[in-house]
Amino acid sequence: MARVTQALILAGGLGTRLRAVFEDMPKPMAPVLGRPVLEHQVLALRDAGVRDVVLCVGHLGEMIEHHFGDGGRLGVRVRYARERELLGSGGAIANARGELAQGPFFALNGDTLIPDVDYAAFAAGHARHRQADGATVGSLLVVRPADAGEYGVVDIAEDAGIVAFREKAPVDPAKVLISGGIYLLEQAVFDYIPAGRKVSIEFEVFPSVIEHGGHLWAYEHTGFFGDIGTPDGYERVCRHLEAAQAEKDGS
């Protein structure tokens, strides 16, 4: 199967919960191991064969554009989809449509960092579902969080099909699966995004896909999941990657 060679990253949010730590920069520019979180994401995508990256920017987006430029120094081509007002995750994806070529694309939340995603396996699983099922609209990377109470829940059938999104976790946190904020989407997803208003991809667009007969699939990631949306989450990401780097240096 052909590799997925394009991606967009949602990097336009206000990051209000992280302002206690970084009030003068966009949340995805928070540094980890000397690089912005956003750069870690771009490099991981590049190493997975992605060559075209669209950065969806808004609040303090000029800092992101200054840092990444055209992407040449990182070995990718970077373009920008600028938001004049906050559009939500679904609206930001729709706003970037004109910067994407035809075919499937990865979409990432700019405030999550999952350093060891196997993008090739993710894409291969998605392709198998798409080939067997003509109603496939997308696949979501899902994880089991350390603290499920902070996240919405993804309900998954035995065949890995996603059947529902819920805002409250069940009593048993060990059984909770949540979205890891990395999606692999077909162009058909744009048919489900309403125009002209702020819209959430997970709590409006994806439920609409399911309601209208489209199919979404889950790919479970069992490694580290980092959310830099809060100061505590940011510190956890830093500690994890620093420990991983120290282990690598010592091996």
Please answer whether residues 10 and 108 qualify as being in contact, where contact means their C-beta atoms are separated by less than 8 angstroms: yes
- Residue 69 burial by CB count (10 A; 0-12/13-18/19+): exposed, middle or buried? exposed
Looking up tokens 């069992």 gives 222
| Residue 231 tokens, joined | 């100061």
Residues annotated catalytic, as ranges: 168
Backbone φ/ψ region at 219: left (φ over 0), alpha (ψ -120 to 50), beta: beta
Ramachandran bin of 80, using left for φ above 0, alpha for ψ from -120 to 50, beta for the remaining angles: beta
CA distance 26 to 11: 8
Residue pair 41/109 in contact (Cβ under 8 Å)? The answer is no
